[in-house]
Amino acid sequence: MSMILAHLSDPHVLDLRGVPLHRMLLNKRLTGWINLRLKRGHKHRPGIVEAMMADLRALAPDHVAVTGDLTNLALEPEFEAARAMIERLRMDPSQVSVIPGNHDLYTEGSRRAGRFGEFFAKYITSDLDLAVDLPGGRFPFVRLREDVALIGLSSAVPRIPLISSGHLGDAQRQALRDALAHPEVVARVAVVLSHHPVVNPRGGLRSLMRGLDDVVDFRASLDDGREVLALHGHWHRRGHEKLTGDRGGVIHRLGATSASLLHHDPEQMASYNVYEIDRGRGLVSAHARVWNVVRERFEDAALPDGATQTG
Ligand SMILES: [Fe+2]
Ligand SMILES: [Fe+2]
């Protein structure tokens, strides 16, 4: 019996209600807000996310994974709205797994307040006790669900304006290796969730600004000679790339777009991914449900070959 896992990412819920102007002016949020207005604020459409929740309810997957950047400026009203969005899936919290992205830890203050862990506590519970203390909370979590073991990582760290790079750290990568070696995980297909992908964008500067600073070690940790699914967001681009490890493992890099973004590039248009996974056969199939602007509905589409992507 296989299972269906749906994967969405980067809804970037924006909600500035009740935020005093001085909080915007005194910190990084102002830069973030201007950046958002200039670059993409007008393109993120909450209505598409609502339509996606309805489409997911109709699909009724066994599990939904959300790979970060649920908010934009890590504000309380945004976390509230993002949680309400997830609740509209009408799924039991044990069937929904969520990890933080760089925007969910946008400022040092949001990290100190532990906002992500507080708002999404129900979606980050763990069946194994391997978590370590990180800026984004206690990770990794391991959730054993039918044919899969979902391992949720936090690569989010507060950074200076315009830098969105991530970091996993030695302790978390060791915990990841311990999780992958655990008999309950070995008996299933490992699905690793990280906001930043397992490969960095091409180009030194882009890599420094947007990539994972310990990406080489992350990839080595995932290569344990078996098949592993590595789900991510952050690039706002969907794709499926098969990476072969030195130890013979196959890492499926599976990227999802921003759930809310209207984009002229079809590979970046709002969508979510759907995976069929079987304990014995691994990843059986992968496709996307992509927003059709004209028909105003989600439709099936292939996942593009991610090997050609640059992030
Ligand atoms: Fe994002
Ligand atoms: Fe991101």
Report, as an integer, the average pLDDT of 151-173: 93
Q: How far is the CA of 226 from the centre of ligand 1 (A)?
A: 29
Highest mean pLDDT among 39-48, 243-252, 286-295: 286-295
Ligand nearest to the CA of 196: 2
pLDDT digits (tens, 9 = 90+) for 125-160: 999 999 999 988 899 999 999 999 999 999 999 888
Ligand nearest to the CA of 236: 1
pLDDT digits (tens, 9 = 90+) for 181-233: 999 999 999 999 999 999 999 888 989 999 999 999 999 999 988 999 999 99
Q: What is the CATH number of domain 3-306?
A: 3.60.21.10
Task: For residue 79, give the nearest of 40, 57, 106 by alpha carbon.
Answer: 106
Report, as an integer, the average pLDDT of 299-305: 95
Ligand nearest to the CA of 261: 1
- The pTM for the full model equals 0.93
Counted residue by residue, the chain has a size of: 311
3-state secondary structure 127-185: CCCCCEEECCEEECEEEEECCEEEEECCCCCCCCCCCCCECCCHHHHHHHHHHHHCHHH
Q: How far is the CA of 93 from the centre of ligand 2 (A)?
A: 23
Q: Indicate if the pLDDT at residue 20 is higher than 70.
A: no
